[in-house]
Structures are given as structure tokens and as C-alpha cells.
Amino acid sequence: MGKVFVNIGLSLDGYMAPEGMDLENWERPEYKNWGAKWGALMGWVLKQQYFRENLKFGPGGETGPVNDMLRHTMERAGANIMGKRMFDQGERSWPEEAPFHAPVYVLTHEKRDPWVRPGGTTFHFINDGPAGALERARESAGGRDIRISGGADVIQQYLSMGAIDELEIALAPVLFGSGRRLFENLHEPVPQFRIDKVLNTPDATHLRYVRA
């Protein structure tokens, strides 16, 4: 059976997204720093050759161990699960060929028909909770791994269920002060992890934990 994994960027003070992260808030003075904060969090990924290729940003970009890791992360996922807020942002910013190339199960209260994109990504809108979404993801992944893509709300639910086998965090040296915190709302017994691998770079420390 495939592994269930998370691979995300995290600020030094534990946030997955800065407060007010929404295109509608771009001009609002109280949230004017969200773009800069997001850039500081994800700067490492934006420069990778694989990321540029996958998001159709054009040629160029860094190659090396971080690029290899990124490619492996995207290619190992036979299915993805995400929350509606992450989807809503992506729907407005992913290219027509969305970058997953596999089924994506969106946890939501909204009823909506599947959204088929060119290149193998189909978004399915799931209304019966995280266990149902995981079951469907397993069926379609055919033994490959399942990525819990985010955001924080959805990852917290799978952590609380004890369903996450591997937790990969790119810890960026930036403080947000507020935003979407990753480690909260967890239910007992909280899952336990051990360190499996650390890859240090000037932009981020890539931490890989596996279930203890």
C-alpha cells in the first residue's frame, strides 16, 4: 500500500501561509506584506528547474539535490488531497495544465462536478470527510503514494487521524508573526515522528520525518 505523505513549506514560527493570503487582499494595507512573506517562504522552490518546467514558467532554473527532491515529490504521488481554500487559490493561479498530473480530491462542503484539466489532473469534490477522500485516493492511486497537499486545516485532520506516514517540511528562515498555523487543533493521541533526513541549504532546511 502506498504511503501517505505531506510536503510543505513552513515559516520559522510555524505558519504555512501568511495572514490575509488572498489575491483580494493584495492592495489592503493591513495585509500588504503577504506576497513578500509567501515569496520568502517559497523562494527555494520557485528557482528549481523542475518547478519552472511543471508550472510552464519557461526554461532554466537550478538543478541538484533540491530539484531532484522536488521532482521525486511530485512524481511519487498517485493521488492528492487538498482543502477548498488551497483549491480556490490554485484555481485562479495554476496554468490550464494543472501541475498534479493525477487525481486531486478536494475536501469541501460545496457540491460540484469533477473538473478535468489537460495533462491528467482531475479535481473531484468530496463532501463526506477526510476518511472518504483517503479511501478514494487509495483506490485511484493503485498502490502509489498519496500526497496530502494542504492547507493547514486538512493536514491537521489527517495528522489527528494518525494517517500521515511521512512529514516533509521545508523550514524557511522567515518569521510571519501570524497566519495559518500548521501544528494546532491536533487531537490526542498526537502522532509521533522520528527524523529520517535533513538537507540544509541557504534558502530552507529540508526536514523529513517518518512515523515513529
For 124, the enclosing helix (H) or strand (E) is: strand 122-126
- By CB under 6 A, residue 153 contacts ligand NAP: yes
- By CB under 6 A, residue 180 contacts ligand NAP: yes
Phi and psi angles of residue 37, each rounded to the nearest 5 degrees, phi first: -65, -45
Instruction: Tell me which stretch binds ligand NAP (CB under 6 A): 50-58, 60-68, 71-79, 106-114.
Output: 106-114
Helices (H), the chain: 34-46, 49-54, 65-76, 84-93, 129-141, 152-160
* Window 34 to 93, contacts with ligand NAP (CB under 6 A): 83-86, 89
- By CB under 6 A, residue 107 contacts ligand NAP: yes
Q: Which listed residue (152, 167, 171, 204) binds ligand NAP by CB under 6 A? A: 152
Return d(Cα 93, Cα 168) in angstroms, integer.
Answer: 24
Distance of alpha carbon 103 from the chain centroid? 15
126 or 141: CB nearest ligand NAP: 126
Give the footprint of ligand NAP on this chain (CB under 6 A): 8-9, 16-17, 21, 83-86, 89, 107-110, 129-130, 149-154, 157, 180
